[in-house]
Amino acid sequence: MAGPAEEELGALAAIFCGPGEWEVLSRSETDGVVFRILTEAEGLTEDAAVPLELVFHLPAGYPSCAPGISVHSERLTRAQRAAVREKLLERAQSLPAEPMVHELVLWVQQHLGRILAGTGPGPSPSAKSSTRDEGLWMVLLRLDHMRARARYVKAVRQWATDLGLTGRLAFLGRAILLLLQGRRDDVKEYLVLQKTCRVDVDASGKKCREKMLSVLFEGPAQPQHARFPEFGVREYPGVDELRREFEAAGLQGLLSGFVPELAK
């Protein structure tokens, strides 16, 4: 990562120095840096501060390329979080190729109310997509295990929601499958979070990253593939129930082609 980006990280750590305001989630020479900032922004009224958790992914090429951004807040609806993220990404793309995270945080602090005023109670961006969305991207993952299952499932659900992804987290005995559907860039951003954030715990109980993830399939959806209308977590009592749900969405080929032991 370039010198200016390292200097920016140091400056951000000094600026967001309050309890819990700053945390580096992962750092890698190949994948870059993922960190979160906790802040507040002015909502629809002056006395309604909205807490925001902003997760930034600075890829190895940053600041020559814009950062990835995820938005979390219990005070915002899924549609509102998606709108805030979209506006932040648009803002990032419009800025010069130089360190920009602090400017993005200041910008959302100043403009959150205006963004929220433009969102209503209507469907989220993913819900507006047709079930056979042009350009729909899919990925099928196999997770080896979940020691901290409740924490892990909460993180997966939150990331999928914030990125507007649909699909299934499927538990079938010891097998754990994760199907995600959405825009290609959003699916790619999810994969970065999945691989770089400490989402589980190791045998000693310490937080750890997902190290045994298998990408069974990734690519564009085919005409026969329908899009799940939402992201759901399902515990299947048997392979027949899992097969029927995938067949209903035209996805039986994923099971037979990439998880043959579940499709017999």
> Which of 94, 117, 140 is the C-terminal boundary of a domain?
117
> What range defines the domain where residue 107 resides?
3-117
CATH number at residue 85: 3.10.110.10
Q: Are residues 111 and 136 in the same domain?
A: no
Tell me if 152 sits within 8 A of 200, measured CB to CB: yes
Under 8 Å CB-to-CB from 5, ≥6 apart: which residues? 33, 58, 62, 63, 99
**Higher-confidence position of 209 and 62:** 62
Q: Are residues 102 and 160 in the same domain?
A: no
Q: What's the whole-number mean pLDDT along residues 82-87? A: 90
Is pLDDT above 60 for 175?
A: yes
Query: pLDDT tens digits, residue range 31-49?
Result: 788 899 999 998 876 657 8
Tell me whether residue 122 is in a domain.
no
Query: Please, what is the average pLDDT of the chain?
Result: 84
Q: Are residues 8 and 110 in the same domain?
A: yes
Is pLDDT above 90 for 138?
A: yes
pTM across the whole model: 0.59
Q: Are residues 154 and 251 in the same domain?
A: yes
**Higher-confidence position of 27 and 182:** 182
Query: pLDDT tens digits, residue range 54-83?
Result: 999 998 889 888 898 989 888 888 888 889
Q: Residue 128 — very low, low, confident or very high, per pLDDT cuts 50/70/90?
A: very low
CATH number at residue 219: 3.30.70.100
DSSP code string of 44-92: SSTT-EEEEEEEEEE-TTTTSSPPEEEEE-TTS-HHHHHHHHHHHHHHH
Q: Are residues 12 and 69 in the same domain?
A: yes
Tell me whether residue 200 is in a domain.
yes
Assigned token pair, 206: 């310490």
Q: Are residues 104 and 136 in the same domain?
A: no
Q: Are residues 34 and 97 in the same domain?
A: yes
> Which of 96, 117, 138 is the C-terminal boundary of a domain?
117
Count of structural domains, the chain = 2
Q: Are residues 94 and 143 in the same domain?
A: no
Per-residue confidence (pLDDT) for residue 132, from 0 to 100: 39
Find residue 71's DSSP bridge partners: 54
Sign of CA dihedral 242, 250, 167, 216: positive
Tell me whether residue 140 is in a domain.
yes
Q: Are residues 168 and 258 in the same domain?
A: yes
Q: Are residues 181 and 200 in the same domain?
A: yes
Per-residue confidence (pLDDT) for residue 264, from 0 to 100: 54
Q: Are residues 173 and 221 in the same domain?
A: yes
Tell me whether residue 123 is in a domain.
no
pLDDT > 70: what percent of the chain?
90
Tell me whether residue 176 is in a domain.
yes
DSSP code string of 130-153: -TT-TT-EEEEEEE---SSHHHHH
Least confident interval from 20-24, 73-77, 122-126, 165-169: 122-126
Q: Are residues 13 and 113 in the same domain?
A: yes
Which phi and psi angles does 254 have, rounded to 5°? -65, -40
Tell me whether residue 70 is in a domain.
yes
> Which of 51, 86, 117 is the C-terminal boundary of a domain?
117
